[in-house]
Copies of this chain bind each other. A is one copy, B any other.
Amino acid sequence: MVTEIDFKKGEGLVPVIIQDASTNEVLMLGYMNREAWEKTLVTKRSSFWSRSRKRLWIKGETSGHFQEVKEIYLDCDGDTILLKVNQLGGAACHTGFRSCFHQRYKEGGWEVSGVRIFDPKEVYGK
């Protein structure tokens, strides 16, 4: 049994799976560095390190669609985190879909499969 998060293997970052606490639907995957992990513990809202923007971000800081953290799990070798959350606004994806995983593989290609909850133009104004 491991007793702490291994931030070394991923050069300071660990992948974090976000799952809906009530339905168990997987909503998204993000990355945390130690600062994002500690921010999550203190605020009880999912916080991540953005690899593209290279900065800490609290999920929902723009849209208001925060994730209230209900349960936290660590995998067997300590290098992946799983959060069970209550997704405010009903959708985790910036495209307005409930889940970021809304493209399903079928017959050699990807097709949209999922529920769109909001219009991104209305939420993000763009």
Hey, which bits of chain A sit against chain B, CB under 8 A? 1-4, 9, 15, 17, 19, 23-26, 28-29, 51, 71-77, 80, 82, 93-95, 97, 100-105, 109-110, 112-113
Q: Which residues of chain B have C-beta atoms less than 8 A from A26's C-beta?
A: 17, 19, 24, 26, 82
Q: Provide the residues of chain B in CB contact with A71, threshold 8 Å.
A: 104-105
CB-CB under 8 A from A100, the residues of chain B are 75-77, 80
Interface centre among A15, A76, A112 (most CB of B within 10 A): A76
Are the C-beta atoms of A76 and B102 separated by less than 8 Å? yes
B2 touches A29 (CB 8 A): no
With known contacts A15-B15, A80-B29, A101–B74 Cβ distance under 8 A: yes
